[in-house]
Amino acid sequence: MKRNNQDNINNAEILGRVLFPSEKIQRKVNELGRKITSDYKGKELLIVCILRGAVIFLTDLIRNIDLPLSIDFMSISSYGFNIPDSGLVKITKDLDENIEGRHVLIVEDIIDTGLTLSYLIRNLKAREPESIEICTLIDRAVRRITDLNIKYCAFNIEEKYVVGYGLDYKQKYRNLESIYELKTDTIKKDIESLKSSLNK
Ligand code: IMP
Ligand code: MG
């Protein structure tokens, strides 16, 4: 269903090609939902959504899961070089639910270096859930620098930066229904203007 015209408005200079059109995303999300439903049959799930990027994915995914489930949210801020042990990954909004003895499924938008999620997994495992797994919309494994076991993944991509369907560039484009590549020029221009403002 086409809900808006956002995908066509004013974005020609910034957005590159469509990587994953919304119909394809919906098909994949449905497939993942069915797989999760059969894997967790007879169990109750607690789905932990990582704010803010995974929100759109979460709302579609849970409507494709036919199980008793709860949702909770967590927000993490990471700084440029987010080395987990240096305390540079910070939980800015913690869970409201107690996860001890529960089946936890983390829903994330994109896993890049893996630093954010490996910090999070360690933190959550210390709270003694019965099980903990990861479900990500996108896996960009080429930049991975930690060991992560990703049980559910909708799409794999290479180097490109992507936006849409929850994913942002400077907090925008989350409302696009499809997933787009960002034009390399856009990022380059921003880096140049950042550099020149630092040199002033
Ligand atoms: P990492 O796995 O710790 O390197 O960080 C992953 C986080 O960086 C994701 O949760 C996103 O918030 C953000 N991120 C990485 N790549 C992209 C992208 O291509 N588009 C939008 N956000 C991204
Ligand atoms: Mg994120």
CA distance 96 to 51: 14
Residue nearest to atom 9 of ligand 1 (CA): 110
- What is the 115 CA–ligand 2 centroid distance (Å)? 11
Q: Topology of 22-175 in CATH?
A: Rossmann fold (3.40.50)
Q: What percent of the chain has pLDDT over 90?
A: 74
If you search the block for the tokens 């996860």, which residue do you land on?
Answer: 99
Question: Per-residue pLDDT tens for 132-182?
Answer: 999 999 999 999 999 999 999 999 999 899 999 999 999 999 999 999 999
Enumerate the β-bridge partners of residue 164: 167
- For 37, the token pair is 């439903």
* 96 close to 72: Cβ distance less than 8 angstroms: yes
Pocket test for ligand 1, best of 19, 52, 116, 190 (most atoms within 8 A of CB): 116
| pTM confidence score | 0.91
Residue 105: is its pLDDT beyond 90? Answer: yes
**Lowest mean pLDDT: which of 48-57, 96-105, 160-169, 182-191?**
182-191
Q: Is 94 a catalytic residue?
A: no
